A = this chain, B = another copy of it.
């Protein structure tokens, strides 16, 4: 089983963190590749960044198909490009928001999501709706720490733990979901300090994709997620068109 984990932003150190946590949960028969795309934003902190992370992500999926990848993880909590990725990939594709919410829904009746920036809250609710999690998701709140600050800022942990504590009480939740690919280091300390299950999306998406591949399941390609038809692409994006047809 070969799983490709794609960090949709272009910051290598974040890819390294993501890889560490993805690698920590895979089984002995699974090979894992974590990549930084060849184009796009250094961090995803707006709808603009998210939209512009998709071409690089799709380029990685096109490469992955040529390399025989069995399943993909999109390692950004906005799940950018998920539908487009499913058209390209033969195997299953999971976003980390999707996987984290689904995992949390197995552990209790309600969960709270803690995101980095407050402007991500609206989009996270949008995803909760799309995945049928509006009811299970009892609250989404932000600790207002930049994506790239998470690693360097000394008081990031106490602020996030405090936000989680408040969220548990306010939302009466059973579970915490971490709303950013760069937060996996925080799972253990939050769990220890608050005594509740804490879900990291990178781990969840990686094991779920591994699970789907193990079951022999692929993306359903008979209708909406069939391979894209050929199309001429022009300008900067010319290479995404017929000169480099989707597999």
Copies of this chain, how many?
6
Output the least CB separation between A172 and chain B (Å): 6
Out of B29, B87, B122, B233, name the residue touching A27 (CB < 8 Å): B29
| B220 lies within 8 A of A175 (CB) | yes
Contacts of A58 in B (CB 8 A): 48, 51-52
A158 within 8 A of B: no
Contacts of A31 in B (CB 8 A): none
| A217 lies within 8 A of B199 (CB) | yes
A168 within 8 A of B: yes
| B28 lies within 8 A of A172 (CB) | no
A190-234 vs B, CB cutoff 8 Å, 1 = contact: the mask equals: 010001110110011001101110111111111111101101111
Known: A10-B234, A40-B233, A109-B126. 15 other contacts (CB 8 A): A27-B29, A45-B229, A46-B84, A46-B226, A48-B58, A51-B83, A52-B55, A92-B107, A106-B208, A107-B219, A119-B223, A123-B224, A126-B130, A199-B215, A210-B211
27 CB-based A-B contacts, threshold 8 Å? A10-B235, A25-B211, A27-B29, A39-B233, A41-B237, A42-B241, A45-B229, A49-B231, A52-B54, A52-B58, A54-B54, A56-B235, A93-B106, A103-B212, A106-B212, A107-B217, A108-B220, A109-B126, A110-B122, A119-B226, A121-B172, A122-B224, A129-B129, A132-B132, A173-B220, A174-B223, A211-B211
Residues on A close to B: CB < 8 A?
10, 25, 27-29, 37-43, 45-52, 54-56, 58, 81, 83-84, 86-88, 92-94, 98, 102-103, 105-110, 118-119, 121-123, 126, 129-136, 168, 172-175, 187, 191, 195-197, 199-200, 203-204, 207-208, 210-212, 214-226, 228-229, 231-241, 246
